[in-house]
Amino acid sequence: MTDVVADPELDPTATYAVDPTRARRLASRVVAGPGAEQHLSRTPMTGAPLASLPVSTPEDVQVAIGTARAAQRSWARLSIERRGEVLLRFHDLVLERQVELLDLIQLESGKARSSAFEEVADCAIVARYYARSAADHLRDRRVRGGIPVLSQTVVSSHPKGVVGIVSPWNYPLSLAITDALPALMAGNSVVLRPDQQSSLTALAGHELLLEAGLPEGVFQVVLGPGASTGQAVVDQADYVCYTGSTRTGRSVGQAAAQRLVGFSLELGGKNSMYVAADADVPRAVAGALRACFASAGQLCISAERLLVHRDVYGEFVTRFVDAVEAMRLGTALEYGYDMGTLVNQGQLDTVTRHVEDARAHGAVVLTGGRPRPDVGPFAYEPTVLTGVTAEMACRDDETFGPVVSLYEVGSDDEAIALANDTEYGLNASVWTRDVRRGRRIAAQIQTGTVNVNDGYAAAWASVAAPMGGMKASGIGRRHGREGIVKYTESQNVTAQHLVGIGGLPGVPDDTYAAGLTLALRAMKRLGLT
């Protein structure tokens, strides 16, 4: 059985309380009217209360949008260098205040501290990247005009205006803040609606941005249910960035498209990790532990399918099951645990349903397969299944929990086919000693990111490259040039000199057409674009 580390604080009556004064200060930043309805948030570690936070109405969202729109104009007039200075100060503050941030992340999400640290590192990496690369991504570009020399064309990028971000609970710091950073660098203002489960962490990130020098009004936070508060953001922002389920993402996309505003969506996944015949098995086992069970599997890019070549299947399974059973489960606010807890009863119900459905249809539980109330009210053991077939819900549906299915494959082609046999296309992982082989396999997998000899973090942390989903896993990308240009409107300004494009005064149309035909042929011979 999985080793459980006793936590003296895990008393069902105990409260992992956020200091009330601190909570009130954070809550004061929420855009909500006097006498607003209050939402009591609880920690999944024990179910104990965390804080009471106001709920923003759709009318409050309208106020937030108006404030952000007014503040955006002066923010956009600042040089991109000045905006970058804010992000670099934010970078330093995130690292300096990481203990408090880690506590909040854990208290709201239930994840282990090592998984929480990924969010702190992610915020710092993204802040530094866009602070130092945005000028290059957004600079005016001179491109070839219709007639060389005579047509002088410049392409410029202008901010969209107010960017609305609707973020989920599973990465309460990263997904609330890192999408906002490029939007701000591009000269936009932001209205954020974080999930109610993770509001304190988002507000703490917002507070650090203000401390770093972000002007008041440029970044507004509203809190409340997705169906009301979140929908109001979608219905009023000039661009929408949403991370969450595919079902809700379709509705968000429809609502934004109806208004003819742009949107990006990172949605669900059913991600595969392939262990090839020549893989370093011990290294692949260590990678699989992290790929499958980081944040208790509540990660859009985590692996829920392990595809293992038959030549190494027996060794891999033995080593992997042993490693899973040695994992340390716990919910203390300290390092030393491998996995924490699920976030709420709904997630626990889904995980339990998927495992029991698989059992009922003949799957074998190699390890795990049961709740762990001794760890926390929503904790569930890291679980490894084999014999999973198409009639089982966990074969194709996203579990979003610490459950992984093993599949034995006989070739790279079989692994590629199985990895692609899903409506999703978010992330994948390939393990092989031959990196060139890994890249060839990766090119045939239909996902937005593929990691070779890593589970998910290598591609995720490579923020100069785009990240996002194919198929039902989303539209658009975060990170890289695409992650900031999406928040802008491109404008083509062309100055025409000496002669016009549509003809010359006093020159017959047929003569003009014949001359232009000669010119076009000449441009092709000269290799011009």
If 0-12 CB within 10 Å is exposed, 13-18 middle and 19+ buried, where does residue 453 land?
A: middle
Q: Which of 166, 213, 159, 218 is nearest to 193 (CA)?
A: 166
Instruction: Dump the DSSP string for 65-131.
Output: HHHHHHHHHHHHHS-HHHHHHHHHHHHHHHHHTHHHHHHHHHHHH---HHHHHHHHHHHHHHHHHHH
The SS3 call for residue 137 is helix
266 in catalytic set: yes
Do residues 428 and 440 touch, judged by C-beta distance below 8 A? no
300 in catalytic set: yes
What span, in angstroms and rounded, lies between the C-alpha atoms of 233 and 104?
25
What span, in angstroms and rounded, lies between the C-alpha atoms of 410 and 362?
22
Q: What is the DSSP letter of 467?
A: B
Considering the candidates 207, 266, 304, 381, report the single residue annotated as catalytic. Answer: 266
Considering the candidates 108, 300, 394, 398, report the single residue annotated as catalytic. Answer: 300
Kindly tell me the sign of the dihedral angle through the C-alpha atoms of 308, 462, 447, 391.
positive
Do residues 374 and 352 touch, judged by C-beta distance below 8 A? no
What span, in angstroms and rounded, lies between the C-alpha atoms of 130 and 507?
52
Please identify every residue annotated as catalytic.
266, 300
